[in-house]
Amino acid sequence: MSKNNKQAAAAAYGEKPKEFKKTLRRLLGYLQPHRSKLLAIGLMAVLGTLFSVLSPKLLGDATSSLYSSFVNGTRVDFEQLGTLLLWLVGLYVASSLFTFLQQYTMAGIAQRTIANMRREVNEKLTRLPLRYFDRHAHGDLLSRAVNDIDNINNSLQQALMQIITSVISIVGILVMMLVISPWLSLVVLVTLPISAFVIQLIAKRSQKHFMSQQAEIGQVNGHVEEMFSGHQVVKAYGYEEQAIEDFDGMNERLYQAGWKAQFMSGIMMPMMMFIGNLGYVLVSIFGGILAINGSIRIGDIQAFIQYTQQLNQPMMQAAGIANMIQTALASAERVFTLLDEEEEERKEPAELRWKADSGSVAFENVSFGYEAGKPIIKGLNLKVKQGQTIAIVGPTGAGKTTMINLLMRFYEISGGSLQMGGIDYTEMTREQVRSRYAMVIQDTWLFHGTIRDNIAYGKENATEEEIVQAARNAYADDFIRTLPDGYDTVLGEDASNISQGQRQLLTIARAILSDPSILILDEATSSVDTRTEMNIQRAMKEMMKDRTSFVIAHRLSTIKDADLILVMNKGEIIEQGTHAELLRQRGFYADLHSSQFADRLEEAAL
The residue among 581, 527, 587, 518 whose CA lies nearest residue 554 is 527
Q: For residue 141, what is the domain's CATH number?
A: 1.20.1560.10
Q: What is the pLDDT of residues 335-363, one digit of tens each?
A: 888 888 887 777 777 677 666 667 889 98
Average pLDDT of the residues in 490-510 = 80
Q: Is residue 13 part of a domain?
A: yes
The residue among 255, 237, 258 whose CA lies nearest residue 247 is 255
Q: For residue 409, what is the domain's CATH number?
A: 3.40.50.300
According to DSSP, residue 519 is labeled: E
Q: What is the pLDDT of residues 57-71, one digit of tens each?
A: 777 777 766 766 666
Asked whether residue 309 falls in the same domain as residue 427, the answer is no
The residue among 497, 503, 473, 493 whose CA lies nearest residue 485 is 497
CA distances to 85, 233, 294 from 205, rounded to whole Å, are 46, 42, 46
* Percent of the chain whose pLDDT exceeds 90: 2
| Number of folded domains that form the chain | 2
- Residue span of the structural domain in which 600 resides: 354-434+565-606
Residue after which a domain boundary falls, among 339, 366, 400: 339
Asked whether residue 362 falls in the same domain as residue 219, the answer is no
Q: What is the DSSP string of 469-484?
A: HHHHHTT-HHHHHHST
Asked whether residue 178 falls in the same domain as residue 61, the answer is yes
Asked whether residue 360 falls in the same domain as residue 321, the answer is no
Whole-angstrom distance, CA of residue 16 vs CA of residue 19: 9
CB 85 within 8 Å of CB 55: no
Beta bridge partners of 567: 393, 575
Q: What is the pLDDT of residues 362-395, one digit of tens each?
A: 989 888 888 777 778 888 888 888 888 898 888 8
Residue 597 has a pLDDT of 65
CB 465 within 8 Å of CB 546: no
Is residue 5 scored above 60 in pLDDT?
Answer: no
Asked whether residue 92 falls in the same domain as residue 206, the answer is yes
Asked whether residue 325 falls in the same domain as residue 360, the answer is no
Q: Are strands 518-522 and 437-441 parallel, antiparallel or unpaired?
A: parallel
Is residue 1 scored above 60 in pLDDT?
Answer: no
464 — pLDDT class (breaks 50, 70, 90): very high
CB 384 within 8 Å of CB 562: no
Average pLDDT of the residues in 588-593 = 84
Q: What is the pLDDT of residues 255-307, one digit of tens each?
A: 887 787 778 767 776 777 777 777 777 777 777 787 777 777 777 777 777 77
Q: Is residue 370 part of a domain?
A: yes
Asked whether residue 314 falls in the same domain as residue 400, the answer is no
Average pLDDT of the residues in 79-108 = 80
The residue among 519, 526, 565 whose CA lies nearest residue 543 is 519
Three-state DSSP class for residue 242: helix
Average pLDDT of the residues in 585-605 = 69
HEC states along 393-456? ECCCCCCHHHHHHHHCCCCCCCEEEEEECCEEHHHCCHHHHHCCEEEEECCCCCCCEEHHHHHH
Whole-angstrom distance, CA of residue 405 vs CA of residue 90: 71
Average pLDDT of the residues in 543-549 = 81
Q: What is the DSSP string of 267-293?
A: THHHHHHHHHHHHHHHHHHHHHHHHHT
Asked whether residue 21 falls in the same domain as residue 156, the answer is yes
